[in-house]
Structure 1
């Protein structure tokens, strides 16, 4: 059941990866007067400084830290760790080798959660974990597994068995589950995310916008830029704004926790 906080019981969000598409939409959504769990105090975390285009009014405080560095994470987060009630994990490090992905992403998440959990007192209650459909497809970008992957066929369902390949999504799920029952969690396996971002390499809207601008400048027709496979097959996308609403709902609603959405 959804619970609205009183003015003395403020929910405090830590958005790790706040300057990305998903993080930006979360920061926007948490400021809306109709958002569940209100009122929210919002801390935003990113490795690089806050970009000029990011409205500072969306967050109460920005923290720049390297989550791969345990000492830096503890030093930067410890002063506010006792306040944080909800973590929205939308940060990611991606390399071709999946074992490297497992090591780096698990280290980042563990450093953050360990810092928050060690606070006195610790207020953290829930973690929303953003992963994706490679949960069902395997590490498709790892060249060592090219041509060897056997994946689930769509439609994908959240209770499908894990695939027998290394996958940093699995590692992150296991990590947040290890904190049960003191910290609940929800897992959000979105597909391609589209949203507002001026620099994300994953933002296909930005890519298509640049491509269309070039076509217009050159006087060329706007032809489909993808492969024959993507033309012939089903492809779904997730709006970052809708994804933000789903994550917030799961964070504060009974029945949305310990779930995969």
Structure 2
């Protein structure tokens, strides 16, 4: 199901990228295929965040190895969370992925914290009743999605849980007017996942070295064998939700600049 009513969009989308190993992938590619104009900034490379969302129609905040509760590792986090709220206050859509989802939860009063385990690989979650009715997700089959995180978050008081998991209950939520947080990585392509698997297997990501023994070589080999099938399903899902999300950026606000 698509919310799109036109074939092309001229929406201006701000993308905040926290790591070269966590690019916008299929999500941002889908936005561009529909004509969106993307501006990508890397605040950890001294690129300044805009002080207001006026020049943009939507905001995408990507993942990264940082912890959402560690402001020393992310000195821009406070300004970014303010910007997230400003976008939504103007009824401009926000999409937070992994770290971006955790920061979105924190921006609205949620608590970000260690999960206690590592979620790694393609995991099947399920839609909540609200998720089945949500305009972004409704009518789209939910496949196993790539997870790679050791942190989680509590839901802000006004958030609506859309996708839930067993080991990590909060997988996707909606908050405010048009803001969505995705704990998994629907945006990943095969190249990125293979890079993550190699780095994890070779203990190149210091934060995750302690979890390596939980995933033996046989498990990793199975993941690699199943990767093409998982990626095909994940890419189709990502294209659908990205298209629906972009449609929100093309809708006029109902309550312009309404304060909460």
Question: Which category of TM-score, normalised to the shorter sequence, fits these structures?
Answer: 0.3 to 0.5
Bigger strand share: 2
Give TM-score, length-normalised by structure 2: 0.46
Question: Larger Rg: 1 or 2?
Answer: 1
